[in-house]
Amino acid sequence: MNRIDFVIIAFLVCMATGCGKTTHNVITVNGVVAAEAIGTTLPHEHILVDFIGADSIRPGRYTTDSVVAKALPYLIELKSKDCQTFIDCTPNYIGRDVNLLQRLSLESGVNIVTNTGYYGAAGQKYLPHHAFTESAEQLADRWIQEFENGIDETAIKPGFIKLGADAGPLTGEQKKIMKAGAITHLKTGLTIAVHSGDGNAAREELKIFLENGVAPDAFIWVHAQNEKDFTVFHEIASQGAWVEFDGLNADNTEEYVNMLTYMKKHSLLQRTLVSHDAGWYHVGEKNGGDFRAFTSLFTNLIPRLKEEGFSEEDIDQLIGKNPGEAFAVRIRRKV
Ligand SMILES: [Zn+2]
């Protein structure tokens, strides 16, 4: 055996046995970044939303220049806080525009991640007609196509699956898109982030993922702050799923301090994500309406957490390590 053969065989053995450190990637609109290198990350924000509804949404309701003029200063401000990665949670049929995201990423220097999947919350107003008629397998095929071939005839790929459901119990369509998400995950390794109306919805979503062979750590419970019973955070996170508190603003810092303190007390910080759900150039409003900055976390929350005894390591876990692990693309099967 020559040296090159030896290196190849050692590599294959290592891959097969999982020895050593395996590098996983996060998929951004400008290509892949090693999960360990995505740095400080906001896991749930939006550049643009168009709430007109799946029946009426169409291109040309805004100009890219007008959105860039509005949003770019906020991304540059974010970059000045040493935030390197921005997860854009606007799904298809609510204004997902991957060319816009790519341009903003290039001009700001912030990594941006986009998504595939459908949003079944808000009374299913944002589900396209075919979501009512097609099977879970057919819907998954559409999302897998985006992963394999790119979105909207670009080479830009989704970095996660974004789904949505109202407060439980889930409707038939909402259950179907969860199953489609599970099928897509098992084919692509994309993490499934689900807008969830309450803890009952999150519990039911996790059950569907498990029944379809997906491990809990492939699931992010989006908008966990909607649930007022903190024990549900414990129930979901202790199974390995991600609990995301993502409506932070300057006025609710103490609620976030309380929820994060609960997670720390129960040794669940390593399953916790935090973000603002901010931004939002509102298509249809004059000059995009009010745009909320992405910086409360840095200016308000982190100083308060430090006062409450959170260490630098805890903060790094929340906004550095956890997002990298949560969004690292890899298939997670239920064992
Ligand atoms: Zn959102």
> What pLDDT is stored for residue 7 in this prediction?
46
* Each residue's pLDDT tens digit, 267-289: 999 999 999 999 999 999 999 99
> What pLDDT is stored for residue 259 in this prediction?
98
> What pLDDT is stored for residue 185 in this prediction?
98
Residue 3 has pLDDT above 70, yes or no: no
> What pLDDT is stored for residue 22 in this prediction?
73
Question: Looking only at Cα atoms, what is the longest distance across the chain?
Answer: 70
CA 46 / ligand 1 centre spacing (Å)? 6
* CA nearest to 293, candidates 311, 275, 306, 312: 275
Q: Please say whether the beta carbons of 146 and 184 come within 8 A.
A: no
CA 35 / ligand 1 centre spacing (Å)? 22
* CA nearest to 194, candidates 142, 231, 246: 246
3-state secondary structure of 269: helix
* Each residue's pLDDT tens digit, 72-106: 999 999 999 999 999 999 999 999 999 999 999 99
Q: CA angle at residue 115 from 110 to 118, to 5 degrees?
A: 150
Query: Which is it for strands 31-34 and 111-113: parallel, antiparallel or unpaired?
Result: unpaired
CA 2 / ligand 1 centre spacing (Å)? 54
> What pLDDT is stored for residue 21 in this prediction?
61
CA 10 / ligand 1 centre spacing (Å)? 44
3-state secondary structure of 59: coil
CA 90 / ligand 1 centre spacing (Å)? 7
CATH topology of domain 3-327: TIM Barrel (3.20.20)
Q: Please say whether the beta carbons of 274 and 221 come within 8 A.
A: no
What pairs with residue 116 in β-bridges?
Answer: 161
CA 123 / ligand 1 centre spacing (Å)? 16
Q: CA angle at residue 43 from 39 to 47, to 5 degrees?
A: 110
CA 134 / ligand 1 centre spacing (Å)? 26
Residue type, position 292, single letter: R
pLDDT band at 1 (very low <50, low <70, confident <90, very high): very low
Residue 102 and residue 110: Cα distance in Å, rounded? 10
Residue 17 has pLDDT above 50, yes or no: no
**β strands within the chain, DSSP E:** 25-28, 31-34, 41-49, 85-88, 111-113, 115-116, 160-165, 192-196, 219-222, 242-245, 272-274, 279-282
3-state helix, strand, coil in the chain (%, to 5): 45, 15, 35
Token pair, residue 309, equals: 């005894």
> What pLDDT is stored for residue 235 in this prediction?
98
CA 64 / ligand 1 centre spacing (Å)? 20
CA 5 / ligand 1 centre spacing (Å)? 49
Residue 124 and residue 139: Cα distance in Å, rounded? 15
* Each residue's pLDDT tens digit, 305-325: 999 999 999 999 999 999 999
CA 122 / ligand 1 centre spacing (Å)? 12
> What pLDDT is stored for residue 2 in this prediction?
52
Residue 331 has pLDDT above 70, yes or no: yes
> What pLDDT is stored for residue 186 in this prediction?
98
* Each residue's pLDDT tens digit, 26-81: 999 999 999 999 999 999 999 999 999 999 999 889 999 999 999 999 999 999 99
Residue 15 has pLDDT above 60, yes or no: no
CA 239 / ligand 1 centre spacing (Å)? 24
pLDDT band at 5 (very low <50, low <70, confident <90, very high): low
Residue 212 has pLDDT above 70, yes or no: yes
Token pair, residue 76, equals: 């540059």
For range 170-177, the mean pLDDT: 98
* Each residue's pLDDT tens digit, 120-164: 999 999 999 999 999 999 999 999 999 999 999 999 999 999 999
Stated pTM of the model: 0.93
Domain ranges (residues) in the chain = 3-327
